[in-house]
Structure 1
Amino acid sequence: MSGLKLFRTMKSGVTEVAPRLAEVEADVQGLVEAHMEALLDVRFLASEYGTGPAHGGRIDSLGLDENGSPVILEYKRGVDAGVINQGLFYLSWLMDHRAEFEHLVRDRLGATAASQVLWSGPRLICIAGDFTRYDVHAVRENRRSIDLVRYRFFGNDLLGLETVASVSGGTQTPRRARRQEVARVAAAVPGASMVAMATAVDEALLGLGDGVNRVERKQYRAYQRLRNFACVCPPQRTKLLVYLKVDPKHVDLIPGFTRDVSGLGHHGTGDLEVQLRTARDVERAQDLFRASYAAA
């Protein structure tokens, strides 16, 4: 991966583990499909999915992400200028065949998952040996949700994935407009200080990096790089709940502020619950926000 060097440490010194590309594209595809949920938080649906005689194509992989968004995955062994256009071609097909996709989800994951497919945010994930600056520019100019992911194998048993670019197809409300809306709501809604706090959290999470996408669901708002790193539930009268992808075992839990919810049902994803009641709580949570973002 670009700029990354990996070393094996031993008592006698260190030895660099040289990065390498796959021998064939199918090696990358097979590994990702076998471990898609662990690697990408995407549930695997189908491999080499045919798009019919009229369209005449085969989608490398189909999946459903943790927010219910349909995902198309395309793989290339090295650098291939056509991978993005190919993926967009299939994404257009997918949007015209929603019922077919939902039927596939029902067969693989059940009726509940099929009824909750989020069609407002279909995604394309391109996994390749590398991308050019023209690829990155093209993605940023596009109005679809696209992730460019660079892979490398290290030695015989290590796989590295690096997000090169990530853009959201959703429209982003300018910060000034969001603040004006918060002021309007605060003047009219009892307990609206929680709404203002939700906006402060929104700005803090979006400000963690360029590649943060926001996904709206009825039960929560997800903040995503390649995968979710934070989920924010609608404000309650006295608190705002945020769920983070941080291992609670590595956090000094504070009653009334942080809680281990692994194994407990809740909206969104993440095993660490953060309870925000004051502006000071938002400040205290910043390190946890950054840790979750770094792990996504």
Structure 2
Amino acid sequence: MSGLKLFHTTNSGVTEVPPRLAEVEADVQDLIEAHMETMLGVRFLASEYVIDCVDGGRIDSLGVDENFAPVVVEYKRGTDPGVIHQGLYYMAWLMAHKDAFQNLVRDRFGASAASQILWSAPRLICVAGDFTRYDAHAVREHRRSIDLVRYRYFGNDLIGLETVASVTGHPARARRVRRRAAGTMSARRQDGTLAELAEAVNEVLLSLGDGITRVQRKQYAAYQRLRNFACVCPPQQTKLLVYLKADPKAVDIVPGFTRDVTGLGHHGTGDLEVQLRTERDLDRAQDLFRLSYAAV
């Protein structure tokens, strides 16, 4: 059970708004599917997708996240010890039927989107009324990217989502990638300080909180806590570009340091561009990093 308490404030005092579960599982599913990109950072593809296998079954929701990774979303009204295993079963089916998923993406978002699917990082998001401590432990034992998200309704028009656990798939592989990346960074230090700066940015972003996942694409590295909060592009000749989910209108735009890129095309996600040239710029940017992390 979540420890979050919500209160309605008035001039005469405060009144607690008691949390509640949905009447039926479909209420949660319908709401999230209608607003999936806003609530989960996932573009909706299909609902109750019938899989073609001996045992049958329906995947509650299918989607692609901001980095074009395929996503399976499973919902439960309350606590269900089978939700993780059920979701993993559907993920296994998905990875064995990539053509079917690519056709869904192509039909909805076009051929360009279908060609960018990140098959190396499929995700499972379980949305439920609650999870047990055994669930949180179990996800760490699987070599898949899994997010456990607890929901609660408050009153008639409020819903809260809380990430209970978030793990990155293939931990051993991830360690090898990090070691190779560190070796590459060390080799590149002779070329200047931008490689060192990129390594420092990586350390700062990963240290902002628990459950942060780093997803590597060719054009950028995304840092996410359920949704992307930062995207770092490879070093340019004189600067490192970081894109954040912080609202550009909520910060002071400093020419040469920050830029509002709302509506402008760029790699990664986020409307606030931060330009880093030195360690001093990184120090200046850390409040913006925390602001973006808090926003997701």
Match of 1:186 among 189, 199, 202: 189
1:2 aligns with 2:5: no
- Structure 2, gaps ≥5 residues long: none
| Deviations 1:17-72, CA, capped at 9 Å, x for gaps | 11100011011101011111111111111111011142411100000111100000
Asked if structure 2 preserves the Cα contact closer than 8 Å seen for 1:178 and 1:199, the reply is no
Q: For 2:282 and 2:3, how far apart are their aligned partners in 1?
A: 34
Q: For 2:181 and 2:234, how far apart are their aligned partners in 1?
A: 16
Please give the residue correspondences for 1:50-199 in structure 2 after superposition, counting only pairs within 5 Å. 50-170=50-170, 171-173=173-175, 178-187=181-190, 190=191, 192-199=192-199
Q: For 2:179 and 2:208, how far apart are their aligned partners in 1?
A: 18
Matched position secondary structure for 2:62: strand
Give how far 1:178 is off.
Answer: 4.8
Q: For 2:175 and 2:187, how far apart are their aligned partners in 1?
A: 15
Alignment correspondent of 1:289 = 289
Q: For 2:183 and 2:40, how far apart are their aligned partners in 1?
A: 36
Q: For 2:280 and 2:181, how far apart are their aligned partners in 1?
A: 21
Give how far 1:6 is off.
Answer: 0.7
Give how far 1:176 is off.
Answer: 6.9
Give how far 1:181 is off.
Answer: 3.4
Asked if structure 2 preserves the Cα contact closer than 8 Å seen for 1:62 and 1:71, the reply is yes
Q: Percent identity at matched positions?
A: 71
Give how far 1:210 is off.
Answer: 2.2
Structure 1 segments, 4+ long, off by >2 Å, are 170-181
Alignment correspondent of 1:257 = 257
| Letter in structure 1 aligned against 2:140 | R
Give how far 1:3 is off.
Answer: 1.5
Q: For 2:60 and 2:6, how far apart are their aligned partners in 1?
A: 30
Matched position secondary structure for 1:118: coil
Q: For 2:260 and 2:232, how far apart are their aligned partners in 1?
A: 16
Alignment correspondent of 1:49 = 49
Please give the residue correspondences for 1:202-213 in structure 2 after superposition, counting only pairs within 5 Å. 202-213=202-213
Flag the 1:226–1:219 CA change in 2: closer, same or farther, 3 A: same
Matched position secondary structure for 1:173: helix
| Deviations 1:224-249, CA, capped at 9 Å, x for gaps | 11000000011001100000000011
Matched position secondary structure for 2:287: helix
| Deviations 1:84-127, CA, capped at 9 Å, x for gaps | 00000000000000011000111111111111111011000000
- Structure 1, gaps ≥5 residues long: none
Over aligned residues, Cα RMSD in angstroms? 1.4
Q: For 2:185 and 2:63, how far apart are their aligned partners in 1?
A: 36
Flag the 1:106–1:177 CA change in 2: closer, same or farther, 3 A: closer
Alignment correspondent of 1:17 = 17
Q: For 2:122 and 2:8, how far apart are their aligned partners in 1?
A: 39
Flag the 1:15–1:167 CA change in 2: closer, same or farther, 3 A: same
| Deviations 1:189-228, CA, capped at 9 Å, x for gaps | x3x3111111110111111122011111111110011000
Flag the 1:184–1:117 CA change in 2: closer, same or farther, 3 A: same
Alignment correspondent of 2:200 = 200
| Letter in structure 2 aligned against 1:124 | L
Matched position secondary structure for 1:281: helix
Matched position secondary structure for 1:256: coil
Q: For 2:181 and 2:109, how far apart are their aligned partners in 1?
A: 37
Flag the 1:201–1:5 CA change in 2: closer, same or farther, 3 A: same
| Letter in structure 1 aligned against 2:32 | V
| Letter in structure 2 aligned against 1:78 | G
Give how far 1:173 is off.
Answer: 3.3
Matched position secondary structure for 2:43: strand
Q: For 1:90 and 1:172, how far apart are their aligned partners in 2?
A: 23
Flag the 1:173–1:238 CA change in 2: closer, same or farther, 3 A: farther
